[in-house]
Structure 1
Amino acid sequence: MRILVLGGTAFLSAEIARQAIAAGQRVTCLARGTSGRPPGRAVWLQADRSLGANAYDDAAREWDAVIEVARDPALARDALESLAARAGHWTLVSSCSVYADHSVPGAAEDTALLQPLPDGEASTPETYGESKTAIEAATAEATGGRAHIVRAGLIAGPGDGSDRYGYWPARFARDNTPVVVPDIGTAPTQVIDVRDLAAWILKAAGQGITGALNAIGDQVPFAAYMAASREAAGHTGHILDAPPEWLASQGIAYWSGPDSLPLWLPPGHDGFMARSNQAAKAAGLVLRPWQETIADVLRDERTRGLGRPRNAGLAPETEAKLARLLQQGGRASAGNVA
């Protein structure tokens, strides 16, 4: 296949390009290159998409498949206007953040979506879901049904720059000092390995799969994920179970960002990591064992440095402060977090 990846230099898009090249496909990546160069034997069309439709002039040819990962509707619309008519199949990597309700476990693709970001309104991190909804609508209109809308959940795996899934195995591996853990043992976690997601995107493009599908992993209880992360890291120190309400009162952030506890969600998000992936699996999505992802992520974390500054998780000094407060309240245990 002649595949155009709009991106190809960072995490998921780079993994898509690598796998396509390894499979013998003819791969072209259109990207600025600020995150690095496209992998291997990919042809690189160096272009800045923020400059408008002219960025696609060198890509004005026929493609068997185009793969789009943009989160800005303006960029996505320019690409669709320039390339949709030339693409046999279009893949949009969207997000489960497009759903308006995250409170119901087991929800499928027919759940109501957020309203699209209005035309002309700037896309921001706070309007990520609305931005992806707008891109989905524009993609459906421009491709006339030739699009696969990949509603991805949290993507994990080696090279993840968000630092969310890797925080816990890396923290357990860093040292044997007490680890502060939110007391949410039965809550679900749900991620997809970047390698599995890339493989399915390429498989679906080759088979001409279309429509919106939740590209997410199976549900794993938080306690099981923590126990596996701890075992993989060889941690034998104390675990400090912290009540969620207390953590919030201490200014600890949910989910991501500085001084956060990744995979801990705010109230009202019981379904955020508990959506149905049955339609995608029926369409060919194959998932590796989640323990394998943990092991590979931990190896990657060790390579990048367990003590490096992170985009998600507690800073060591913040965790030490919380640990002192929890230990004063008698919350330490040396047992298994499960």
Structure 2
Amino acid sequence: MSAILVLGGTSWVGGQIVDEAVARGHDVTCLARGESGEAPPGATFVRADRADPGAYYEVRARSWDSVIDVSRQPGQVRSAVDALGGAAAHWTFVSTGSVYADQSVPLTEDSPLLVPLAGEVGEPEQYGEGKVACELAVQELPRHLIVRAGLIGGPGDRSDRLGYYVSRFALAGDQPVLLPGVGSQPMQVIDVRDLARWVVLAAEDGVAGTMHAVGQHTTVGEIGQVSAEVAGFRGDRVLAEEPWLHAHDVEEWMGPRSLPLWLPASHHGMGMMDDARALAHGLERRPVAETVRDTLIDERARGLDRPRQAGLDRADELALIAELRP
């Protein structure tokens, strides 16, 4: 049994990591503000605001076999490294593929990075730059693993990116559904449970370096096909080309009035991230269909017609379809 400190652990990805570590018999402590909830069952919860200079007081006197951090704020990561770096045998930082300077091309772990954020706190639009700065702080430690995750999906996802299509297909039944005409666009989605398991296993084994934790290579069209099959969809899939969608103020990727998974060409590299290093160090991934099936179960429990963080509301979607094919 190892002593593992998760900085965070009360939200989606961090919570899955805690669940996995507890299930594997580790002594797990979560340090977080608790705004997303309490720590998962079986873990010790230390409530602290990492913006507070005394945030690590309750955990800094203890030695940790592993520290796992999921923050995007450089100030939080720097302060954690300063306070706890000497007490941790291994440090994992969960980063992102958004750190790369040119995301239009296939990406390896050695591809050029964005200029790191200079300040302590980044805005959402500085997500990639902030993660680069966080990585630099962690790289000062002698034994560290930087996990650059791609798109994450699975049960509990609050972004609604992967869950949007399977939910819409299930809701629509035999009625039409609007899709972006980008079926050949490369895409990778890693199940959050597979990511969490690998992060914990890598921490147990003391894996070091920088690696991509990404899903199997597929396309937006293939994910759409799997989603329709899982949902038992019987209607028409209506394709809209990118210029038409832009002209009608439909956005890419995520956010209000968007079509998830659709990326501009400048970001197609997010679906072409090399996975060789992580696979060589034990990353295992379940089939996309399994992730989509479990996602639909979760989506049904939360409500197929609920307000979403990404996608189109049904009335807007049907109005667009009517305009596209009168």
Give TM-score scaled by structure 1 length. Answer: 0.94
Task: Give the deviation of 1:207 after TM superposition.
Answer: 0.7
Aligned to 2:57: 57
Q: Distance in 2 between matches of 1:148 and 1:21?
A: 20
Counterpart of 1:189 (choices 187, 190, 200) is: 187
1:214-237 per-position Cα deviation (integer Å, ceiling 9, x unaligned)? 110111122111111011111111
Q: Distance in 1 between matches of 2:256 and 2:9?
A: 27
Q: Distance in 2 between matches of 1:9 and 1:268?
A: 33
Q: Distance in 2 between matches of 1:43 and 1:271?
A: 39
Aligned to 1:259: 257
The letter of the residue matching 2:96 is: S
1:280-338 per-position Cα deviation (integer Å, ceiling 9, x unaligned)? 1011111111111010001100011001000001112221221111112xxxxxxxxxx
Q: Distance in 2 between matches of 1:31 and 1:119?
A: 21
Aligned to 1:134: 133
Task: Give the deviation of 1:51 after TM superposition.
Answer: 1.8
Counterpart of 1:233 (choices 231, 234, 243) is: 231
Task: Give the deviation of 1:85 after TM superposition.
Answer: 0.7
Partner-residue secondary structure (3-state), 1:254 = strand
Q: Distance in 2 between matches of 1:51 and 1:174?
A: 45
Q: Distance in 2 between matches of 1:17 and 1:113?
A: 29
Aligned to 1:5: 6
Question: Contact between 1:31 and 1:47, CA under 8 Å: does it hold in 2?
Answer: yes
Task: Give the deviation of 1:272 after TM superposition.
Answer: 1.8
Partner-residue secondary structure (3-state), 2:267 = coil
1:2-51 per-position Cα deviation (integer Å, ceiling 9, x unaligned)? 00001111111111111111111000000111111111111111111122
Q: Distance in 2 between matches of 1:202 and 1:239?
A: 40
Aligned to 2:16: 15
Aligned to 1:30: 31
Partner-residue secondary structure (3-state), 2:266 = coil
> Alignment RMSD, CA only?
1.0
2:81 is equivalent to residue 80 of structure 1:
yes
Q: Distance in 1 between matches of 2:311 and 2:119?
A: 35
Counterpart of 1:210 (choices 200, 208, 211) is: 208
Partner-residue secondary structure (3-state), 1:59 = coil
Partner-residue secondary structure (3-state), 2:75 = helix
Aligned residues between the structures: 323
Q: Distance in 1 between matches of 2:139 and 2:103?
A: 24
2:322 is equivalent to residue 321 of structure 1:
no
Counterpart of 1:165 (choices 152, 162, 167) is: 162
Question: Contact between 1:91 and 1:205, CA under 8 Å: does it hold in 2?
Answer: yes
Q: Distance in 1 between matches of 2:196 and 2:267?
A: 27
Aligned to 1:334: none
Partner-residue secondary structure (3-state), 1:268 = helix
Counterpart of 2:276 (choices 275, 278, 290) is: 278
Q: Distance in 1 between matches of 2:51 and 2:308?
A: 28
Partner-residue secondary structure (3-state), 2:85 = helix
Q: Distance in 1 between matches of 2:320 and 2:223?
A: 22
Contiguous gaps of at least 5 residues in structure 1:
329-338
Q: Distance in 2 between matches of 1:57 and 1:223?
A: 50
Question: Contact between 1:102 and 1:270, CA under 8 Å: does it hold in 2?
Answer: yes
Task: Give the deviation of 1:175 after TM superposition.
Answer: 2.0
1:127-175 per-position Cα deviation (integer Å, ceiling 9, x unaligned)? 100000000001101x13x110000011111001111110010010112
1:267-287 per-position Cα deviation (integer Å, ceiling 9, x unaligned)? 322222111111110111111
Per mean C-alpha deviation after superposition, the further-off stretch among 219-228 and 257-266 is 219-228
Q: Distance in 2 between matches of 1:308 and 1:96?
A: 29
1:157-204 per-position Cα deviation (integer Å, ceiling 9, x unaligned)? 100111111001001011232111011111112111110001100111
1:89-141 per-position Cα deviation (integer Å, ceiling 9, x unaligned)? 00000001001111113x21110000100135x30111100000000001101
Q: Distance in 1 between matches of 2:91 and 2:21?
A: 15
The letter of the residue matching 2:135 is: E
Q: Distance in 1 between matches of 2:305 and 2:204?
A: 42
1:222-263 per-position Cα deviation (integer Å, ceiling 9, x unaligned)? 211111101111111121110111101111011000010000
Partner-residue secondary structure (3-state), 1:318 = helix
Q: Distance in 2 between matches of 1:271 and 1:96?
A: 9
The letter of the residue matching 1:68 is: D
Aligned to 2:150: 153
Aligned to 2:295: 297
Question: Contact between 1:258 and 1:315, CA under 8 Å: does it hold in 2?
Answer: no
Partner-residue secondary structure (3-state), 2:4 = strand
Task: Give the deviation of 1:211 after TM superposition.
Answer: 0.8
